[in-house]
Each structure stands twice: as structure tokens, then as C-alpha cells.
A and B are shown apart, each in its own frame.
Chain A
Amino acid sequence: MTAVAVPGAGGAPDPAADAAAESRAPAVTAKDVRRELRRQLFRSKTFLGGMIIILFWAFCAAFPAVIATDDPSRQDPASKWVRPFTDGFLFGADRSGRDVFSRMVYGAREIMIIAPAAVVLGTLIGITLGLLMGYFGGPLDDVISRIIEALMSLPVILVALLALSALDASRLTIILLIGFLFGPIIGRTVRAAVLTERNLDYVRAAELRGERSTYIMFVEILPNVVGPIIVEFTVRLGYAVFTMAGLAFIGFGTQPGSPDWGRTIFEERSSLLSDVWWPSLVPALALASLVVAINMVADAIQGLVDR
């Protein structure tokens, strides 16, 4: 992009020429920038790879019957511990003779509903908290910060466990619980980003224009902290899957016999010692692939936001 300016002969610049020439910058609009960002994202192998895996599991969660080869809960004592790739059992069969592959496909559902829902809730809470704390600061910020610090000194899974042993562990409870536990954590990230923005002069300019606090927070500041929020969302999504699986593994949040991955690993882990690895390893790898994929996407977005 070269700027071409041919000033009038004789060398006496026209008073407005400086500005006119200066304005011959390439016409790039905001839309172009967004398109360019999207293009770069889709060129990133990490992003694409992660996205493909996530979409695969999302598809399994939505339409498991399309992929699964069997009913996940059909038991058949005759097929107990059939090894993978035999008798039509792609990934073998478990102690009750259920098809490990089909259970893996169906097992995606619970986690693919709970984790995103919980993180959406947490992000909404986090954005509100973060904007309030970062923009107003002062005593409000101090009080909420203390509460968050207390919450964060406890591993999320412990608090969840504490609450779930008191409450009944329905799907909604788990979503609310993880959402409310993640909210303050996300809030802290949002707050840090808001604090940086708050010191910029455009916020001061809005105040000097007599704008209301809600306008400044949601219209002026929020669009500028979207980057960190998206990154935080994806990272927390990974953690939500992690936490949710951990809870399922210690027996909370899913019914016994459910094909959920964490639950299955918990129930089948004892057969490991008999060298029967497939009933627990298959869901374990499925779980690992999902978290790693989410984090690949998070990493790719982070790389783009940082620049």
C-alpha cells in the first residue's frame, strides 16, 4: 500500500492538501478486518483439528443412533469382555457384554450438554461481575474479590462435591453448580481486562460526554474485552469437561449404568487389573480427545487475540 500524493507544482502546499493526501490511505473497513481474522483462524491447523474433533463429539451427542452400532445398554452375558475387533464389537464389550463403541458414542451426550450450558451461565455471571468490579472498583471490588479468593482457594471439584452430597445431583443442579462456581473465576479474568480498558482515555471521553455507567460498561468497554472473554470461555469449557468428568468418576452427576465416560471409567476401572483395558481406556481416550481438542481451539484463538 503506497500512498500517492502529487502536490501542486511550485511547491506551495494547499492548506488542506496535507490532510487530503494523508487520507489517501487504503480503504479497509471493520468488516474486512473481521473477515481477515476469520480467514486466519480457519487457516490455523490447531483450530481446524480441534474444531473437527469437537464437532464429531457434538454430532455423537445429538444423533448417537446414526453412528452407534448397538443399543448402549443392551446386556449379553455371553459377550462378557469380548476383545476389540471381534464378533462385530469394534471396541470390544464390557463386563455386562455391552458394546464399548456404542457406549462411547452415547457417552458424549451428557457432557456435551452440561459443560457448554454451565460455561455459558458462568460466562454471563463472569461478564457481569467483571464489568462491575473493574469499572467501579472501590469497596464493591474489594468485597467481591475477597469472596472470589475464598472460592478459588478451594478446588472447584471439592466445592461441587460438598454441594452435591447435600443436593440431589440432577443435570440442572450440576449446570447451576458449575456455572456459579466458574462465574467468579471468569469474572476475575474479565475484571483484569476491564481494568486495563478503564484506564484508557476513550472511557474518560465517554464519562466527559455524560454517558451512563451501563452504557460505558456494555457499549464502550465490553466490545474491547470480547477477545479475552472468548479465550476464557474456551479454556473454561475444557475445565468444565474436566470437572464434570471428575465428578462422574467419583460417582456424582450421573446414574449408575449410564454410558457417560467418567462414570464408565469409574465402574470399569477394576477390570484393568485383569488386563481388560478396553472398557475403561476407550472412554478415557474419548474424554482426552475432547479436552485436548477444546484446548487446541482455545490456544488458536488466544494466539489470534494476543496479536
Chain B
Amino acid sequence: MSTPALEFKELHLAYVVRGVPREVLRGVSFSVQPGESYGLVGESGCGKSTAAYAAVRYLPRNAKILSGSVELGGRDVMSLGTEELRLLRANNASIVYQDPGQALNPTIKVGPQLAEAFTVTGMSASDAAVQARAMLQKVQIADPDSVLGRYPHQLSGGMQQRVVIAMALACDPQLLILDEPTTGLDATVEAEVLDLVRKLRDEYGTSVLFISHNLGAVRSMCDRVGVLYAGQLVEEGSAQEVFDAPQHPYTVGLLRCLPRHGSKKTDQRLETIPGFLPLLGADLPTCVFVDRCPLADEICRTQVPPMVDLGGRIARCHHTDRVHDIAVADLPKGTASTVDRTRDPLLQLRGVSKTFHQGGKQIKAVRDVTLDLFPGETLGLVGESGSGKTTLAHTILGIHAPDQAGTLTFAGTPLASHTRKRSDDAIRGIQIVFQNPDSALNRRHSVRRIIGRSLRRLAKVEPAKIEDELHEITAAVRLTDRHLDMRPAQLSGGLKQRVAIARAFAGRPRIVVCDEPTSALDVSVQAAILNLLSDLQRDGDTSYVFISHDLRVVRYLSDRIAVLYLGRIMELGPAERVFDGPHHPYTEALLSAAPSVEGDTRVRIKLEGEIPSAMNVPTGCVFHTRCPRKLEGDICSTQEPPLNPTPDGGVIRCHIPFDQLGGGPVQVELTRRSGDV
């Protein structure tokens, strides 16, 4: 076997905080073979980024190697001299991380910045300029000459990440490290970037270390996968094996937390992993997962589990033989769907638009939205960033007033445009759960005060009864009384989100807008929050407007789904139909862009170009500039299609007849194009 491109040998790494070393990596061993792609997965705080930066020895000053080593191409990274380390970084390894906008120097044009990556290998300036241009073509930038002369801020996020990738591959490294390279990018852009990396990796024969919390992306990119938990590699094997038949209780739990393909709240609750991720540097028992493990017994508490070789794959567990016994939890059936569409809708939007004015220009963020929301129903809002889903939600809440023409009706009465002008009932009736609980909770107020204030303002609870109501509502969101005197900073992310949920539900709202309520949380916490949301919905007959970029989560929770593009509803219908088809070409592309952890059987539909600016909307069908199914002739580019009703009571905005749209079981063959696998 040839020398591995990267090899971790029992690496123990600690951060020294106030003189005390806190161990972050606890004996991590793995290797990436030449030409191989290796994925590292795990929840936040498990040490995956630390591992990535340890590979190029870019560690904070308080980092300390306790024992073990990291070898890059057979050389011990930690023992290199300054100059050797620099040359190693220049020639042998490159790293791409999230937020490309920050990774590029804002005051230097793309050309010179990219050329630097070539001159550092000893190339002359003029050669470097030529190479920089060639490299931009390699990363599929259409107009390299113009891009070379631009500043980073003049490029879109996807383009910036291409430039960073070009820079990383300039030295033709043996190892390319990708640390959450697509986090923050839209699914469609993410898919393109990953396609590009895949293509270049094959072309250059580069080894890849891919770090992501997105299990689907890891599965689609990698040959082998390592699962990190609390700074330990608990399982390793081929991507397919690990994801299809995990052998460690943690991996099993992690995968089961995700809403399964096509699963719905009405079928089944989500499984969760009880307990907490251990804190950084905590003194851990013999098996790091023992506190949360369903198989834990005496031996787990007394003996460090060995790395069990399971024929080409390994798991660090005493009970690998019993892992497949972990019962698929006997979970109560989910909430039965009780949406009764013969009742009067709770919320009606008729022709609602929202135009922002900025520097004399008009930004049409939401255009002509008409929809109904029924009691107890969840309406999912889906679309890329800039699609107007958040603006629409904010308009419903009265954060900003809609344009004159449209009307909003809540429980039969017209809804004032702005919160300030709304009746107490309307204010109490429509509440929100924000994405980031750190921002949503006042850091200076105790939990008691945060929830108590809502009880008083919204539910008009008398001061004497506040305490009783507090206990009731905290119990409903599964918090205990002890939490009441804490401040948000003392709670974990999941607990904070429960407080935010309690606050929203204090006034027994009829509608709750959930704006990406789980996207700041780890998957195991996400599952518990989603369960809570569906319990509360069932108990209170509450309606949700649910925004998320995670399509599976949307599908799990939603009864109906609206797909937005450039502020317009492109499609609205029952969740099953919108997901399974027939559906709008845009929905189809959006769905196919998100890689699945079960492995993809679907063919990826590539969207060309980027979402146009809302200031300069295309003529005709707004999607025609990127549509893979644009019709012959110029109907798509000149005529905006009407919202055609569908048999299931929904609408689709497309010139293509409903029965010829893609996605349905019969249509699969038609949309699959040759050579695109």
C-alpha cells in the first residue's frame, strides 16, 4: 500500500483554557489514501474542524498536542520547521472552508489574489497570471478575463467559492481539505459546487478530506466515512455501509433522528438521542457515548471499548453484535391529520405583494400571493434565498405592511397592515418562533420573565395566576421549574428554543410562523424540537407557516407546501404531490439538488445560472432563464403563465400542462436524460 495522503495516528489534542488542558481530540486515528475521498461527520463540538486544521497545523495558540501525530504524505506535520511547514502548505495541501466572502481579501482583485497561489510555488509573475486565467476556466467560470479584474465583493457566493477552490487547486495538492464548504449556500448552488469539486478531484487525482454536518452531501462525495463523537472516532467504513447499516449506537441514533425519506408527522414521531453531547474537555467515562447509549451496561462503564474490526470497517463499541437489536423505538403514532378544509380558512391572503424601495429602485420581494391557511394546518414555504419566503412571513406578522392592493384576513376579519395597528386578538393569534434562539431571547431576562411577560401581555393572565400558568406552559414544552430562574446563556441551544416556543405559545396562538426553527440546532436536538412542535399543534389545533431550507423537515411537518421563486408562488399543493410530482420544473430542480443520506436514485437536474435579482426580474415566466424544461418558441420568455389549478386543489404556475410535468411515477423516464448520472 502506498503512503497515505493524510494519516492521523492516535492524535490527542487539547486547548489550554486558563492553564487547564481540555481535550478536544481523544486519540483520533484515520487515514486518507491517495485519490480517496474521506468524509468526517459529527455534530457541532465533536472536533471535526479541529481535525481539519490540525492536518495543516493551523491551530490556535492555546492548542497543544498531547500525544500522537499527523502525517501528510508521510511527513510528520507537527515536527516541521516554519519554512518546511510553509512549503508543505504551498505545495501539498489546501483547504477550503465556509463563507467564501470572508476568505478572499476584499482589497485585492481576484486576478492577483489567485496568481499568488502560483507564485508561491516559484512560478514567475507572468506565468502565474496565465495560469490563474486557465484555472478560472477549470472551475467553470464563464468569463475569466472579467472576473480576474474584479474585486471579491463583486461576485456572488457561488462564484466566490469557485475562486477559492481554484486557489486551493493551484498547487495541484495531494490533499484537499473541505471544511463545510457549502454551508450558507443555497442547495442548488451547493450541488453545483460539489459537482465541480468531484470533477476536479477526478481530474487531478486529489485526495479529499470532506467535513460536513450534511450527511447527504458526505454520502454523495465520499468513498469512506468516519463518525466523530466527543473527539473520538466511533465508527469508520465505506460511506454506503456506514449510512445503510451503521454499527455504532451513536451513528444509529444520528441517522434515525433525521426524518426518513418521505416520512410525515402523521405517520411517526422522530427518534431522538437522549442526553447531552459532553462538554469540550469534559472528563469522560470509559466509553464516550455511554451516558446516552441504549445498549450501555456495566462493561461500558468500566472498560474502554476496543476498535472492533468488522471486516473493512470498524466501530468503537463493546456491543457491535447487538447494535442491530436497538429497537426501532416503539414510538407513538404521530398526530393524525385533522385538517378540515371544509371549515373556513383561518388566514386568507389575496393578491398580497410587498415592494421595498431602495435608492430609487424597486425591489419586488413578494408578488401577488394568494393562499389560504386552515386551522391545524402546516403550510411549508420553500425556495432559495431571495425567493421572498421570509418577507411573506413578515408580512403576515405585520412586521412590514404589504402593498396597497392585497388583503389579509384573519379569522374572518381584515388584518391591519402593521402590528401596531392590530387588535389584541390579532396580535395574540399570530406569533413567531425565530431561527436563532440566541437572538430571539433577551439575554438579560430570566426564563420566568420572558415567558411571564407573554402570559401577561398576550394571554392577559392576572398577576396572581401567572405562576400557575408558567408551570403549565413550561411543562408543555418539557422544561422544568428549575429552568425558570435561569438566563438564556445558561441553557443549551435546544432548551433555548423550547423557551422561545413557550413564549410564542403563551397566548394560545392560532397561527405560529416558524422561521427555520431548527436550522441552528444539531440533528439530535432538531428531532426533539420537531416532535414538540407537532405535539403542540395537535393539542392546540394551531396552524403553522413553516419556513425551512431543509426539504425533508418541511415535508415531515407540512400538510401543504408553497414553492416560491422571486417572490411568486410557483406551485402550491399537498406536500406529497409537491414532493413526488407532478411538480413544477423549479420544484423538481430544487428537490434534486439536495443530496439524500439514503443515497440518490434520482437524476440531478442542473439549474443554469443564479437566481436573478429581484430588482431586475426576467420577463414572461420569471423562471425561464434557468428552466431546464423551457418550451420551444418564446411563450416562456414573453408570457407569464397563470396559476393553473391542479386536481388536488393546488396551483402550478407553468405553461406545461399538468399531466406532462415531471416527477410523477410515470414521468420519471421522461425527465431522466442520458449521460447524466
Which residues of A does B touch, CB under 8 Å? 1-7, 9-13, 15-30, 33, 200-202, 204-205, 207-211, 220, 223-224, 226
Contact = CB atoms under 8 A, between A and B. Distances in A.
B294 A208 contact: no
A62 B131 CA distance: 76
B276 A3 contact: yes
A131 to B, nearest CB: 15
30 contacts: A2-B291, A3-B275, A3-B291, A6-B296, A9-B294, A11-B325, A11-B326, A11-B327, A12-B329, A15-B331, A15-B531, A17-B272, A17-B274, A19-B478, A19-B498, A21-B276, A21-B292, A22-B525, A23-B482, A25-B276, A25-B491, A28-B486, A30-B487, A201-B440, A205-B503, A210-B419, A210-B420, A220-B442, A224-B442, A224-B443
B653 to A, nearest CB: 31
Contact of B492 (A11, A22, A30, A226): A22
Question: Chain B's interface: helix, strand, loop or mixed, by majority?
Answer: loop
B574 interface: no
Interface string B424-456: 100100111011100111111110000001100
B271 A16 contact: no
A16 B284 CA distance: 25
Q: Which 9 A-B pairs have the closest CB atoms?
A: A11-B294, A19-B478, A5-B275, A223-B444, A18-B272, A201-B440, A3-B276, A18-B528, A201-B434
A25 B495 contact: yes
Contact of B457 (A12, A18, A211): A211
Interface string B481-522: 011011101111011001000010000000000000000000
- From A26, A28, A208, A224, name the one whose CB has the most chain B CB atoms within 10 angstroms: A208
A13 B271 contact: yes
B310 interface: no
- From A19, A20, A33, A220, name the one whose CB has the most chain B CB atoms within 10 angstroms: A19
Contacts of B491: 25
A223 B487 CA distance: 13
Given A23-B483, A201-B436, A220-B442, A18 B490 contact: no
Contacts of A202: 439-442
Contacts of A29: 446, 485-487, 490
B292 A19 contact: no
B486 A19 contact: no
A33 B487 contact: yes
Contacts of A210: 419-420, 422, 424, 427, 457
Given A22-B528, A29-B486, A205-B434, 6 more contacts: A1-B282, A19-B477, A24-B276, A201-B435, A201-B439, A220-B442
Contacts of B531: 15, 18
Contacts of B442: 202, 220, 223-224
A16 B325 CA distance: 22
Nearest to A212: B420
Nearest to A17: B274
Contact of A10 (B327, B424, B441): B327
B295 A11 contact: yes
B457 A205 contact: no
A19 to B, nearest CB: 3
B494 A209 contact: no
B432 A5 contact: no
B294 A13 contact: yes
Question: Chain A's interface: helix, strand, loop or mixed, by majority?
Answer: loop
B479 A23 contact: yes
B56 interface: no
A33 B491 CA distance: 13
B419 A18 contact: no
Contacts of A23: 478-480, 482-483, 495
Nearest to B422: A210
B487 A19 contact: no
Contact of B458 (A6, A28, A200, A209): A209
B676 interface: no
Contacts of B486: 27-30
Nearest to B434: A201
A13 B478 contact: no
Given A17-B274, A18-B273, A209 B479 contact: no
Contact of B291 (A4, A15, A25, A211): A4
Contacts of B422: 210
B397 to A, nearest CB: 6
A224 B283 CA distance: 34
B279 interface: yes
B468 interface: no
B298 interface: no
B282 A18 contact: no
A27 to B, nearest CB: 5
Contacts of B489: 33
B479 A19 contact: yes
A29 B398 CA distance: 35
- From B434, B442, B532, name the one whose CB has the most chain A CB atoms within 10 angstroms: B442
Contacts of B296: 6
A2 B278 contact: yes
A25 to B, nearest CB: 6
Contact of A22 (B275, B397, B445): B275
- From B295, B431, B478, B525, name the one whose CB has the most chain A CB atoms within 10 angstroms: B478
Contacts of A19: 477-479, 494, 498, 528, 532
Nearest to B332: A15
B274 A7 contact: yes
A19 B30 CA distance: 34
Contacts of B265: none
A23 B525 CA distance: 12
Given A11-B326, A202-B441, A209 B454 contact: yes
- From B284, B331, B445, name the one whose CB has the most chain A CB atoms within 10 angstroms: B445
B419 A208 contact: yes
A202 B430 CA distance: 16
A294 B27 CA distance: 49
A208 B271 CA distance: 33
Nearest to A204: B399
A280 B327 CA distance: 86
A22 B495 contact: yes
- From A5, A211, A220, name the one whose CB has the most chain B CB atoms within 10 angstroms: A5
